[in-house]
Structure 1
Amino acid sequence: MTQLRLEKYFSLINLDEEFISPSTIKTSREQNVDELLNHLLQEPNAPKDVEIPSDYANKRSLLRGLLNIREPRALDGETLEKMDTLLQTELKDKDVVEVDNLDTVSQLFPNNPFTQSDKLILWKGDITKLKANAIVNAANKHMLGCFQPLHACIDNAIHSAAGPQLRNDCEIIMSQQGELEDTGNAKITRAYNLPSKYILHTVGPIVPKGTTLTQQQKEELSSCYISCLELASEIKDIKSIAFCAISTGVFRFPKSEAAYIAINTVNKWLEAHLNHFEKVIFNVFSDDDYKEYLKVFMQ
């Protein structure tokens, strides 16, 4: 299959345009949520007979759930401004993490065996709080985000924090491509309301439950990292890129092998491209994932 290259969709999603967030907050957070709920519930194909909760936390969860299941479709300017305002307000509440403030692997583990460890960072936390130039999203072959309401996957978290423009961009790309995304490939979009500027979306291999990991699946996972690095290297202002632990969640890729492949693939690519990227972050969310990466760095 012929997958769509960057030059074929770059201008379609205005990748070179800076996202401008709303400059002023005109309404309270709760009023914003109320107005957004009312708007979404009046859209065609919206779920019927939905009871709006009385408390803010459940209203906000309902709003996220409605956006999760919403098909790609542009919002009018006023509604989109309300959505961006809400997400920007929530972003200000987060402890945004600056990549430049994180220690590198070479600083933490001076005797590690990796030649590019002065560029490598291991960090545990919420990737939607990380201010890298680009972050990596573990997508599925449809590349439109997670449609399961409030699902705990990284695809859902990233789309929910970025805003509905992200799904619209992904739909433009996939419509232009005209076929599902191949495993191991990647696409890039703007990050909208995230601290990062870009999102790389890649489809990792699925390891069916009860099966043995194959060499092909290992190569496909390695291809995810290479595809993201190659694609990001086409964008001049990407100097830092943060990888999630691709395929180790619902796709069931064994965590120890995934960590080994991730680190060795990135290190080898950086060795061959010495002038590309200043920082590459391995982002993990659980203690177990963190320990698996530590084992590789401390071997």
Structure 2
Amino acid sequence: MGIACTFERAEDGMPEIVVGAGRIRLVQGDIVQAKTDAIVNAANASLAGGGGVDGAIHRAAGPELYELTRPFGGCATGSAVITGAGRIPLPTRFIVHAVGPRYSTARDAECAALLRSAHEVSLRLCEEKAVESVAFPAISTGVYGFPIARAAPIALQAAMEHLKAGERSVKRVVFVLFTPADLQVFSEALASLGQG
């Protein structure tokens, strides 16, 4: 069953889709500069920081981010935890640390379910903190090897279904993609889902 939505282009030409009272927007850039209430970190299970998006967020948030994540003692794959934003400037107040799966073709269905779960749990945590806007990276598509063309519709569908559910604090979901090629893949997936 499709999700009723309207595919548009924002004033700056970036792809956007309206889902009920919410919007999903795609941009290319640095997630630390997203200017949303929360940003999602593509975290590892130890929550201790790493490379890619995880490293960039930890550097921007400062050493206090380690102190904020340490009490959790880690996070299971397919889940997430939420902390304060450390030194990342307002309006960002929270960082959601989502742990996506390491991709394996032999475990494709399991990996897809875990990736979807990481997005769903992240959105639920945002609801608990009355977050109105959240920015996601392309979770698991870097060193974890999840093919971006497979990951994009999973991530977008999770966001669309969350927004479609109705009375939610989250009204704006932004996917911040690192490269023009990543943006193109997500744009094509968004257009395809918008037609469903």
- TM-score normalised by the shorter chain: which range applies? 0.7 to 0.9
Q: Distance in 2 between matches of 1:122 and 1:163?
A: 27
Which deviations, in whole Å up to 9, do the C-alpha atoms of 1:214-257 show, x marking residues without a partner? 11110100001100000110012x11000110000000000011
Q: Give 5+ residue unaligned stretches, structure 1.
A: 1-103, 175-179
- In structure 2, relative to structure 1, the CA distance for the partners of 1:255 and 1:295 (3 Å cut) is same
Structure whose CA Rg is larger: 1
| 1:122 aligned onto 2:26 | yes
Match for residue 268 of structure 1 among 161, 168, 177: 161
Match for residue 204 of structure 1 among 97, 100, 103: 100
Q: Give 5+ residue unaligned stretches, structure 2.
A: 1-5
Q: Distance in 2 between matches of 1:230 and 1:272?
A: 12
| 1:257 aligned onto 2:159 | no
Q: Corresponding residue for 2:123? A: 229
Runs of 4+, deviation exceeding 4 Å: none
Q: Corresponding residue for 1:135? A: 39
Q: CA RMSD in A?
A: 2.3
* TM superposition shift of 1:201: 0.1
Q: Corresponding residue for 2:108? A: 214
* TM superposition shift of 1:270: 1.3
Identity percentage of aligned residues: 34
* TM superposition shift of 1:185: 0.7
Equivalent position SS for 1:119: strand
> For this pair of structures, how many residues does the alignment match?
182
* TM superposition shift of 1:297: 2.1
TM-score, scaled relative to structure 1: 0.57
Equivalent AA in structure 1 for residue 77 of structure 2: T
* Higher relative contact order, chain-length normalized (CA < 8 Å, sep 6+): 2
Equivalent position SS for 2:176: strand
Equivalent AA in structure 2 for residue 119 of structure 1: R
Q: Distance in 1 between matches of 2:26 and 2:172?
A: 11
TM-score, scaled relative to structure 2: 0.85
Equivalent position SS for 1:106: strand
